[in-house]
């Protein structure tokens, strides 16, 4: 909490602004449906006190009653509007298999349009919720292990986009609501899921194959939960998953999937490709907290998750705000939940205990928002897409060592921070880089020795066959291609090494 107190001194002028006051920076909110289950006034009043201006709430589509809208929505929306709260409606299916059948995307899109017509004050809709997770979308893979979810989700998003824009062209269509993790393992014992980076790749493939000449979404919904609940916001995931510090990975994957199509990608530093580039809606984030003894009697069940303490949650929530504020592509950040759920098998990530008492995180969030007003307090994040493989590395070994004519250890270490295919070769020293590139691309001229393989987002030994080379000077070379976009490539060539005396 020392860091929060320091911020108070740095930004004391901002404290004169009323909570929830208009500002040009990031907006903050709560992802929770409690306002629909209880009297919504106190819920929105607490949001006003915190300086939160957005509530993402969920509505579920039931194919057995495809036109149904809960009857309480209208009064609840009016109370939110009276409190100056922007409501984002997250629309998803009641059951994980509900949108997989033929004709269902069009029915779902018609329901989305019906909601938009019924409640014209709502201008923001999330289409789907974590379709890369089996809890929300099935099937994830076919019997042969091929991914299915993104290709099946693409027409749901496309038809919903068109239906909502037909109601009101100013509606903000938020795509996907991606989970930050997936195991990409169709044979897993549980949670057979698709990682966010590979899901976006699959979505791009389906979009291009559809021939669609219109966008799919105005914003990308993302849930940057930590890999482990005890991880700080600055601790990310390994590829192909992505957390709060890995948003550059997410942006690159969107560029790989949609570059050159009608779907806008993210804004790039120093470049203006789209009049309205894609934005990031971080509409779920949270850390579960151990319940102090004084409140233990208010909860039931058994905790199934590693937890942090109250002070750590407060620090992590404030840090998340400061991180998100400095990324120009992020439009909003919403915490999941305002108030804990009482069942310990569910979520205790709220700013309040189950009885409504504020946690230290309540104060930390309120103070940080009041101080920063959503504006970056350090260096803004910069980002540009890369046409190379991400962070390629090589360790050629001891190139000054004279190697024997026959060796079983023609090798070096290569790596990248994403999955990449590679072809490596040994060439005579003095061979031009252009000739090497041609050889590693087409196999002509043939390298003296060559090997192909896959780099799985980490280092690996690139091992050549153990064959005789004539006396002379040689070089190692490797051409890597990004698996998610083979157009992105990197070629690296070693200094010469000598074989024989």
When pLDDT is cut at 50, 70 and 90, the band that residue 404 belongs to is: confident
Mean pLDDT of 102-124: 97
When pLDDT is cut at 50, 70 and 90, the band that residue 398 belongs to is: confident
Q: What share of the chain is helix, strand, coil (3-state, %, to 5)?
A: 30, 25, 45
Q: Which two tokens stand for residue 49?
A: 């006190």
Whether residue 240 has a cis bond before it, omega within 30° of 0: yes
Residue-level pLDDT at 72:
85
Q: Which of 425, 486, 127 is nearest to 281 (CA)?
A: 127
Mean pLDDT of 114-122: 98
Residue-level pLDDT at 422:
98
When pLDDT is cut at 50, 70 and 90, the band that residue 407 belongs to is: low
Residue-level pLDDT at 275:
85
Q: At what angle do helices 360-372 and 40-50 cross, to 10 degrees?
A: 60
Q: Which of 24, 23, 85, 16 is nearest to 52 (CA)?
A: 85
Q: Per-residue pLDDT for 309 more than 90?
A: yes
Using CA atoms, how far apart are residues 406 and 110, in angstroms rounded to an integer?
70
Give residue-wise pLDDT tens across range 154-188.
999 999 999 999 999 999 999 999 999 999 999 99
Question: Are 475 and 373 a contacting pair, CB within 8 Å?
Answer: no
DSSP label at 134? T
Average pLDDT, the chain: 93
Using CA atoms, how far apart are residues 360 and 42, in angstroms rounded to an integer?
20
Mean pLDDT of 241-260: 98
Residue with tokens 């560029």: 255
Mean pLDDT of 419-444: 96
Mean pLDDT of 120-138: 97
226: left (phi over 0), alpha (psi -120 to 50) or beta: beta
Residue-level pLDDT at 245:
97
Using CA atoms, how far apart are residues 189 and 331, in angstroms rounded to an integer?
37
Pairing, β 411-415 against β 279-285? unpaired
């Amino acid at each position: 909490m020392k860091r929060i107190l320091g911020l108070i001194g740095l930004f004391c002028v901002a404290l004169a602004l009323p909570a929830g006051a208009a500002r040009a920076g990031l907006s903050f909110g709560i992802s929770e449906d409690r306002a629909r289950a209880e009297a919504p006034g106190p819920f929105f009043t607490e949001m006003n006190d915190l300086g939160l201006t957005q509530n993402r709430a969920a509505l579920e589509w039931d194919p057995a009653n495809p036109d149904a809208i809960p009857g309480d929505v209208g009064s609840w929306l009016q109370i939110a509007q009276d409190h100056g709260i922007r409501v984002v409606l997250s629309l998803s299916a009641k059951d994980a298999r509900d949108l997989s059948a033929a004709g269902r995307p069009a029915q779902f899109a018609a329901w989305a349009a019906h909601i938009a017509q019924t409640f014209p004050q709502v201008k923001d809709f999330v289409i789907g919720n974590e379709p890369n997770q089996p809890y929300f979308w099935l099937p994830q893979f076919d019997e042969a292990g091929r991914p299915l979810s993104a290709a099946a989700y693409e027409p749901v998003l496309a038809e919903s986009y068109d239906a909502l824009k037909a109601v009101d062209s100013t509606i903000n269509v938020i795509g996907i609501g991606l989970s930050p993790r997936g195991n990409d393992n169709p044979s897993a014992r549980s949670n057979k899921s698709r990682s966010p980076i590979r899901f976006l790749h699959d979505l791009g493939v389906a979009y291009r194959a559809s021939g669609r000449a219109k966008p799919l979404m105005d914003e990308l919904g993302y849930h940057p939960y930590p890999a482990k609940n005890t991880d700080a916001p600055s601790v990310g995931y390994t590829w192909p998953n992505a957390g709060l510090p890995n948003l550059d990975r997410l942006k690159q994957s969107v560029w790989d999937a949609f570059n050159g199509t009608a779907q806008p990608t993210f804004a790039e530093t120093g470049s203006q490709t789209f009049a309205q580039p894609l934005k990031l809606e971080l509409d779920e984030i949270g850390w579960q907290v151990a319940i102090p003894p004084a409140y233990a009697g208010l909860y039931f069940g058994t905790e199934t998750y590693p937890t942090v303490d109250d002070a750590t949650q407060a620090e992590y929530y404030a840090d998340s705000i400061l991180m998100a504020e400095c990324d120009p592509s992020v439009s909003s950040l919403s915490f999941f939940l305002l108030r804990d759920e009482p069942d310990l098998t569910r979520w205790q990530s709220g700013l309040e205990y189950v009885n409504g008492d504020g946690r230290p995180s309540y104060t930390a969030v309120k103070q940080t928002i009041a101080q920063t007003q959503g504006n970056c307090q350090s260096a803004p994040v910069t980002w540009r897409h890369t046409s190379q493989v991400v962070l390629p590395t090589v360790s050629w070994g001891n190139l000054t060592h004279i190697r024997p004519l026959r060796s079983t250890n023609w090798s070096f270490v290569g790596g990248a921070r994403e999955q990449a295919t590679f072809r490596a070769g040994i060439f005579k020293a003095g061979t031009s880089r252009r000739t090497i590139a041609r050889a590693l691309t087409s196999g002509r001229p043939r390298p003296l020795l060559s090997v192909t393989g896959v780099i799985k987002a980490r280092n690996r030994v690139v091992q050549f066959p153990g064959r005789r080379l004539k006396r002379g000077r040689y070089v190692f070379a490797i051409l890597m291609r990004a698996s998610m976009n083979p157009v992105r490539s990197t070629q690296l060539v070693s200094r010469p090494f000598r074989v024989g005396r």
